[in-house]
Structure 1
Amino acid sequence: MTLDPQAKAMLDALPLTPAVDFSQLTASACREMVTSGTFADGDPVAVEEDWHIPTPHGERLARLYRPDGEGPFPLTVFFHGGGFVVCSIDTHANLCRCLAQRAGTLVLSVDYRLAPEARFPAAAHDACEAVRWAALNAHKLGARDALIALAGDSAGGNLAAVVAQQMRGTEVQIAHQLLLYPVVDCATEHPSYEAFGNGYLLTADMMRWYKNQYFDHGADRAAALASPLATTDLTGIAPATVITAEYDILRDEAELYGLRLAQAGVPVTLIRWPGQMHGFASALGVVDAANQTLWFAADALRHGFALADQRATH
């Protein structure tokens, strides 16, 4: 399979810039390069409203997307990507709207702390605190008790996977985890780093820079809060859907995580989207596969909630 023509056209349309000197790149300069207005807005939803989640490190902003129809709805907590350094709930609003409307779920998108201002494990702690708060405040949000899913893309997929592991065996029951091309190994580079390290939007050097912003020197990058793939016992973790992109440096680690979950007896759907590169699901209105993937992802959430319902009644 070759790179999808629409994905290639999107790459070709990017403005030509000088090679980035990652030794000099600052987080603020990197954030200025990220724009949120290039893709379609996603499906309209009934309500969008901001909430504030109290945590030991201050309030975190979260945006709640409510689909059309009569509630109460199941709840999906979403974590945006961006290498733990860039992006926000605004840049990923189109994904959240589509998942909410198509899956018939509330989506609570969490604005966790970013690096390097807040380094590891700040984002992981924020993600866990947000999910615990959402579980305790399900009725206030208009959600159904005991039906919480997790979702995220890239670095947000890392946080969703981390939370799923941390919630295992607790009072917070996770119905499903939806992982879009997630970062699941911050300690090791897999063969796809070399195969797709340049020319496919997310480069190997950029990913290394992101990790260096997120982790202090000497931090344990294989810790459970950093690298879900490094966890040896994966039994009893929530069922998962793992979506990867063929031309993505993160492909191999994400697929290995899906396989290891399956080997541990966790119900897993693992799919590699052909011809696509990292981040493609955000490219609504530009890449047809984005729309197709979000329908697939929404169906996975809907199915995950239905199975959780069945388990709760038996």
Structure 2
Amino acid sequence: MALHPEARAVLEDSAAALMRFDAPAAEVRARFAEAWRSSGRGEVVDSVRDRAIPGPAGAIPVRIYRPHGDGPFPAMVWFHGGGWVVGSVDENDATCRALCNAVGMVVVSVAYRLAPEHRYPAAVEDAYAALTWVAAHAGEIGVDGRLAVGGESAGGNLAAVVSLMSRDHDGPRISLQLLAAPVMAPPSDRKSYVDYGEGHFLSREGMEWFFRQYPRDEGDLDDPYLAPLAAGHLRGLPPALVMTAECDPLRDEGEEYAHRLLDAGVPVTLLRYEGQIHGFFALLVDRLSVSAQAHARAAAALRAAFAQEVPWPHGTGG
């Protein structure tokens, strides 16, 4: 299918090129932050609070969105994208607000440590620490104990990884993993990389650069907590909503992961957005009208998943 006209307009806007990789990571990060400064046009929620929570290597900044109403509410722990190298909670602010309102849930958006200053497993450790903190402090932040995880791109990777970790380490129960255009493996020769690795917003060059910044060495690429497709089995994982874009080099690995989950008996909904590009769910929310459609589908899946769970008494965590 041809590119959607809005996606084509993004590609034709030279100022909106995802980034150049001709500088140190700190400079690339600064360029990214400037290019995707929050528009300030997000929905109004009841409250937004920035705070720090304890982490394995110091405080982890988080942004907590609370919906209107008395609560307690279910919650989603959200992880931003950016190849584990760039990005912040700011670029995903509009999406977190939209999902907070649409579902009626608390959203905890996590500013995990970034590479290469903090290579793998720093981001994973922070992501899992945030999940366990929300579970343990549910009553404090108005959460009833029902938890989901979600993210886009590298954030989708982290959402999948903390789901694996929670299964493996008897961690918090997760009602749904929301994986939007997730990174599931190193750059490859999958068809979507061949067809869309250049000139479609996210590039092979970019992904190869990210994979030079994040792992400590090549051995990390076989670790399922970095590359979930390397997992020996996927049984016992939370239900998943996997959303991919047709014209995205990451499309095939996200869809392969969805099918592997299905083969393992995990309930999965897989949605491909035809004619769309990477970043359609959260990063390009101001540029692509499909973002609102994807948010609505995600909100419906989250509401349905939470409806299957029993809230903890009085919204207290354990």
**TM-score with structure 2 setting the length:** 0.92
Contact 1:181 1:244 in 2 (8 A): yes
Letter aligned with residue 142 of structure 2:
G
Q: What is the CA–CA distance in structure 1 between the aligned matches of 2:51 and 2:214, rounded to whole Å?
A: 26
Superposition deviation, residue 84 in structure 1: 0.3
Q: What is the CA–CA distance in structure 2 between the aligned matches of 1:260 and 1:26, rounded to whole Å?
A: 36
Aligned to 1:305: 306
Contact 2:38 2:91 in 1 (8 A): no
Aligned to 2:316: none
Aligned to 1:59: 59
Aligned to 2:43: 43
Residue 275 of structure 1 aligns to a residue whose secondary structure is coil
Gaps of 5+ in 2: 314-318
Q: What is the CA–CA distance in structure 2 between the aligned matches of 1:95 and 1:16, rounded to whole Å?
A: 19
Q: What is the CA–CA distance in structure 2 between the aligned matches of 1:70 and 1:186, rounded to whole Å?
A: 44
CA shift in 2, pair 1:126/1:38, >3 Å: closer
Superposition deviation, residue 25 in structure 1: 2.5
Alignment of 1:49-198 (within 5 A): 49-145=49-145, 147-168=146-167, 170-186=170-186, 188-198=188-198
Alignment of 1:226-305 (within 5 A): 226-282=226-282, 283-305=284-306
CA deviations on 1:54-109 (whole Å, 9 max, x unpaired) are 01200000000011122100010000000000010111111111111111110000
Superposition deviation, residue 131 in structure 1: 0.6
Contact 1:181 1:245 in 2 (8 A): yes
Q: What is the CA–CA distance in structure 2 between the aligned matches of 1:276 and 1:187, rounded to whole Å?
A: 20
Contact 1:186 1:226 in 2 (8 A): no
CA shift in 2, pair 1:254/1:74, >3 Å: same
Residue 295 of structure 1 aligns to a residue whose secondary structure is helix
Residue 276 of structure 1 aligns to a residue whose secondary structure is coil
Letter aligned with residue 26 of structure 1:
P
Contact 1:154 1:279 in 2 (8 A): yes
Q: What is the CA–CA distance in structure 2 between the aligned matches of 1:142 and 1:177, rounded to whole Å?
A: 21
Contact 1:167 1:173 in 2 (8 A): yes
Q: What is the CA–CA distance in structure 2 between the aligned matches of 1:16 and 1:102, rounded to whole Å?
A: 28
Superposition deviation, residue 41 in structure 1: 3.0
CA shift in 2, pair 1:163/1:171, >3 Å: closer
Residue 45 of structure 1 aligns to a residue whose secondary structure is coil
- Aligned alpha-carbon RMSD (Å): 1.9
Superposition deviation, residue 158 in structure 1: 0.3
Q: What is the CA–CA distance in structure 1 between the aligned matches of 2:16 and 2:95, rounded to whole Å?
A: 27
Q: What is the CA–CA distance in structure 1 between the aligned matches of 2:90 and 2:270, rounded to whole Å?
A: 28
CA deviations on 1:117-149 (whole Å, 9 max, x unpaired) are 00011101111111111110011111002x110
Q: What is the CA–CA distance in structure 2 between the aligned matches of 1:65 and 1:188, rounded to whole Å?
A: 37
Q: Is 1:205 matched with 2:217?
A: no
Q: What is the CA–CA distance in structure 1 between the aligned matches of 2:286 and 2:154, rounded to whole Å?
A: 23
CA deviations on 1:209-243 (whole Å, 9 max, x unpaired) are 01111012333212021011111211110000000
Q: What is the CA–CA distance in structure 2 between the aligned matches of 1:107 and 1:89, rounded to whole Å?
A: 11
Superposition deviation, residue 7 in structure 1: 1.0
Q: What is the CA–CA distance in structure 1 between the aligned matches of 2:54 and 2:84, rounded to whole Å?
A: 20
Aligned to 2:26: 28
CA deviations on 1:257-290 (whole Å, 9 max, x unpaired) are 0000011010000000111000012323421101
Contact 1:42 1:284 in 2 (8 A): no
Gaps of 5+ in 1: none
CA deviations on 1:177-233 (whole Å, 9 max, x unpaired) are 000000011374522111100111100000110111101233321202101111121
Contact 1:41 1:284 in 2 (8 A): no
User: Would you say how many aligned residue pairs link Structure 1 and Structure 2?
Assistant: 307
- Which of 123-132 and 34-43 deviates more? 34-43
Q: What is the CA–CA distance in structure 1 between the aligned matches of 2:8 and 2:151, rounded to whole Å?
A: 24
Contact 1:66 1:107 in 2 (8 A): yes
**TM-score with structure 1 setting the length:** 0.93
Q: Using the aligned pairs only, state the percent identity.
A: 42
Contact 1:186 1:222 in 2 (8 A): no
